[in-house]
Amino acid sequence: MLFSLTTTTTTLLLASTAVTASPLFPRQQQANTTSVAGGNTTTTPPAAAKANITAATVYLPLSTNGTNTTTGNTSFVPVHGYTNTQYNVSSFLGIPFATSERFRAPVLSVYNATGLNATSHGVACMQSPGAGRSVLNGTYTSRGVGEDCLSVDVYTPAGAGNGTKLPVMVWFFGGGFINGANNIYDGTAIIAQSVLMRSPVILVVPNYRLNIYGWLNGAEALANNATNLGLKDQLASLEWVQKYASSFGGDKNKVTVFGESAGAISIALHYLNPALVGNLTANGTNAMNSTATMGNTTVTTINSTATTLPQSLFRGAIMQSGAMSTFPIGPANETRQPIFDRISLLTGCSRNASLAYPGGNLTTSFNQTEFECLRTLPNELLFNATRTVLDDPVNAYGNFPFGPTIDFALIPASPAALLAKGSFAKNIPFISGNMLDEGTLFTPPTLNTTAQVTSYINEVLPRDPNTTVVNTLYAYYSDPSKGSPYGSGNESFGLNPLFKTTAALFGDTTFQSSRRNFLQKANQFNVSKTWSYLFSQKKNGTSTYLGAPHGSDVLYTFGQPGGNAADLTVSRQYLGYFINFANNLDPNGNTTNPITALVSSTLNLTSWPTYSTGTAGGNANMLQFLANNLTVIQDNYRSEAIAYINSVPEALDH
């Protein structure tokens, strides 16, 4: 049997420190593969010389509708992965799911019957080499980078396959829309814990395009439907799940998306997609054709994804440190046009390049548009220009030059305006939470003067807010003893007190206010199945001046927070609620099931109430994650300041 565990075994294993231990081997040692003529591959399971590693194969249907109509092998595509028998988890890695032609929307991959080697990760999408560190001390780019990068990693309980119909969790990673890759997100601990909880799930981790390749902005990009390609990649990965989840034992009707930071922001923005809302914009018009201004010309933008997207791509969502307005957002043809212009200038695609680089080696033939020049440019030239922008000192803290934009299709208008009108998907339950100290990681520890703080704020926002807004924010965030990291009183950690006040200001204007506004608007429009949390656990070994910083919960999400017993306990609780939600659309699980009660008792889970208190805009319930203090608190901290932030959305590009 697939999941034959006694209740006694379940209790003992969930209580054991071995359950969410790191996988057996680092990713660099995962596979040995020999290619042969005709595209077939002979696959050796990773670390085959080690015990506990065996081959695993699933079969994808060749038919377009995902239905197997014959039993002959020619009707299937064999996908060769491996099983870690110590944890009873199978991995299928680096499966291409869509094309990624530069500045073009993705197209789902077509497979042939020769089979796929899925024993090692695919390449990461284009980003700076060495960007990011994994929980196993490997870089995002350890498998290389490239433009052809849209692949998924799939983790399943060993033995899962066609007919098991398990809930599917799809993880969208963070990284500021400029770095990240699926290769560092090992799903072993998530799958292992879900099996032990008797609530098994399947995990899918897709790549999506980054920086200029996935988030090009500017009037020409808008006119050529080249904006928000990262969002379109994510939607394509969900379409792939709909088509192939059953081959891995998944149920396409039970998909939960979850993600952190940029991943969470992306998920929240999908809630604004007219196809999920009902193919209508905030004004009640069809989103298929919308107009925008490009210079003196009115252009029509067309987005076929928005009109063909099934409303059932996912049924639930978990957003960790990200909501619609966490990333300052504005019209594609206005807000980040200077980034497009600078890239065009750096590459020689701009018609002004001859003025900037007299006698230079220009790459454009002047009968091309700037957009077409960038689209066809040798990748090295485009990437070097992109790195120049990313390496600019103004982008060192909290200022991300590439990201989502109002494209008048996937995102028809400003998030704040759409939320205020109720133009968001109201039938998809969600969890949305924050770290205690969201702002510390993004605040320069070298701040010493108010002028530096003002300059920092102006750099972070695409447009400078007016003086009244800035001065009001300074007034709300002027007391270092109430600054971030919260609860540290007058401790300055050897830094100027401005660090703590600025970290508090940034954390609230960027993260806390956006989450609270989304939840309150959902409450206002009678969306009852929403939950929220505050993650206050300070990971052992984290610099004290950071507190419980942005991103530190990801290690807990993937069951690898380190060997500290308190951190491991919080990790299992965090995972436990998320696995319950994926199975039941309720983080408390199926409360009528005796197994759920056993698991809750073993993990010492607290009943997690919904956010709504029945009073629109009033205080609401949150679950605080903290070792030995898993308790329900109220979402009323810094209420006056956050209410003010949410009252001036235009000034902050919300």
Tokens 């080697």: give the residue. 117
Closest Cα partner for 258 from 210, 208, 204, 179? 204
DSSP structure class, residue 30:
S
Between 397 and 189, the higher pLDDT residue: 189
Look at residue 206 and tell me if it is in a domain.
yes
Could you tell me which residues are beta bridge partners of residue 98? 108
Look at residue 413 and tell me if it is in a domain.
no
Closest Cα partner for 632 from 641, 643, 623, 640? 623
Residues 16 and 124 in one domain: yes
Provide the pLDDT confidence category of residue 335 given band limits of 50, 70 and 90.
Answer: confident
The stretches of 348-461 forming alpha helices (DSSP H) are 353-356, 370-376, 379-390, 415-420, 450-460
Distance CA 591, CA 399 (A): 44
Residues 172 and 41 in one domain: yes
Residues 522 and 604 in one domain: yes
What is the pLDDT, as a whole number, of residue 131? 52
Regarding beta strands 41-44 and 89-96, do their DSSP bridges make them parallel or antiparallel, or are they unpaired? unpaired
Provide the pLDDT confidence category of residue 618 given band limits of 50, 70 and 90.
Answer: low
Q: Which of 320, 354, 371 is the last residue of a domain?
A: 320
Q: Which of 30-44, 48-62, 303-317, 410-424 has the lowest mean pLDDT?
A: 30-44
Provide the pLDDT confidence category of residue 140 given band limits of 50, 70 and 90.
Answer: confident
Containing 213, the helix (H) or strand (E) segment is helix 211-214
Look at residue 412 and tell me if it is in a domain.
no
Q: For 191-209, write each residue's pLDDT tens digit.
A: 999 999 999 999 999 999 9
What is the pLDDT, as a whole number, of residue 277? 76
Regarding beta strands 116-117 and 76-84, do their DSSP bridges make them parallel or antiparallel, or are they unpaired? parallel
Look at residue 263 and tell me if it is in a domain.
yes
Q: Which of 320, 351, 382 is the last residue of a domain?
A: 320
Look at residue 525 and tell me if it is in a domain.
yes
Look at residue 332 and tell me if it is in a domain.
no
State the chain's mean pLDDT as an integer. 83
Contacts of 310 (CB under 8 A, 6+ apart): 239, 242, 275
Residues 353 and 447 in one domain: no
Residues 478 and 360 in one domain: no
Q: For 383-394, write each residue's pLDDT tens digit.
A: 999 999 988 876
Distance CA 39, CA 57 (A): 17
The stretches of 312-391 forming alpha helices (DSSP H) are 337-347, 353-356, 370-376, 379-390
Residues 281 and 352 in one domain: no
Distance CA 251, CA 245 (A): 6
Residues 345 and 480 in one domain: no
Q: How far is CA 182 from CA 295, 355, 579, in A?
A: 39, 42, 20
Residues 387 and 451 in one domain: no
Q: For 289-334, write each residue's pLDDT tens digit.
A: 333 333 333 333 333 333 345 557 999 999 999 999 998 888 998 8
The pair phi, psi for residue 532, each rounded to 5°, is -140, 160
Say how far residue 443 (Cα) sits from the centre of its chain.
22
Instruction: For the chain, give the percent of residues with pLDDT over 90.
Output: 67
Rg (Cα) of the chain, in Å, rounded? 24
Q: Is the pLDDT of residue 43 over 80?
A: no
Exposed e or buried b per residue across 263-301, where buried means at least 16 C-beta atoms within 10 angstroms of its C-beta: bbbbbbbbbbbbbbbebebbeeeebeebebebeeeebeb
Tokens 């203090």: give the residue. 629
For the record, the structure tokens of 206 come out as 């897709």
The pair phi, psi for residue 460, each rounded to 5°, is -70, -40
The answer to whether residues 462 and 339 touch, using CB atoms and an 8 Å cutoff, is no
Q: For 597-615, write each residue's pLDDT tens digit.
A: 999 999 999 999 999 855 5
CB atoms < 10 A from the CB of 16, how many? 11
Closest Cα partner for 91 from 128, 53, 123, 127? 53
Provide the pLDDT confidence category of residue 401 given band limits of 50, 70 and 90.
Answer: confident
Where are the extended beta strands (E) located within 553-645? 621-625, 631-634
Contacts of 392 (CB under 8 A, 6+ apart): 401
DSSP structure class, residue 108:
B
Range of the domain at 300: 7-320
Regarding beta strands 89-96 and 316-320, do their DSSP bridges make them parallel or antiparallel, or are they unpaired? unpaired
Residues 316 and 345 in one domain: no
The number of distinct structural domains making up the chain is 3
DSSP structure class, residue 519:
H
Contacts of 587 (CB under 8 A, 6+ apart): 431, 531, 577, 578, 580, 581, 608
Residues 134 and 271 in one domain: yes
Look at residue 411 and tell me if it is in a domain.
no
Between 352 and 403, the higher pLDDT residue: 403
Q: For 531-567, write each residue's pLDDT tens digit.
A: 999 999 999 889 999 999 999 999 999 999 987 999 9
The crossing angle, in degrees rounded to 10, of helices 639-647 and 467-476 is 170
Residues 514 and 598 in one domain: yes
Q: Which of 288, 320, 352 is the last residue of a domain?
A: 320
CATH code (residue 143): 3.40.50.1820
Look at residue 611 and tell me if it is in a domain.
yes
The answer to whether residues 375 and 256 touch, using CB atoms and an 8 Å cutoff, is no
Length of the chain: 654
Where are the extended beta strands (E) located within 98-237? 116-117, 124-125, 145-146, 151-157, 166-172, 202-206
pTM of this structure: 0.88
Residues 154 and 24 in one domain: yes
Containing 58, the helix (H) or strand (E) segment is strand 53-61
For the record, the structure tokens of 355 come out as 């003025």
Between 283 and 474, the higher pLDDT residue: 474
Q: 3-state DSSP: the chain helix, strand, coil percent, rounded to 5?
A: 35, 20, 50
Cα distance from N-terminal residue to C-terminal residue, the chain: 51
Distance CA 444, CA 19 (A): 38
For the record, the structure tokens of 444 come out as 């320069």
The pair phi, psi for residue 251, each rounded to 5°, is -110, 115
Q: How far is CA 636 from CA 512, 516, 545, 618, 622, in A?
A: 11, 10, 24, 8, 10
What is the pLDDT, as a whole number, of residue 395? 65
For the record, the structure tokens of 184 come out as 């560092």
The answer to whether residues 505 and 313 touch, using CB atoms and an 8 Å cutoff, is no
Distance CA 142, CA 26 (A): 11
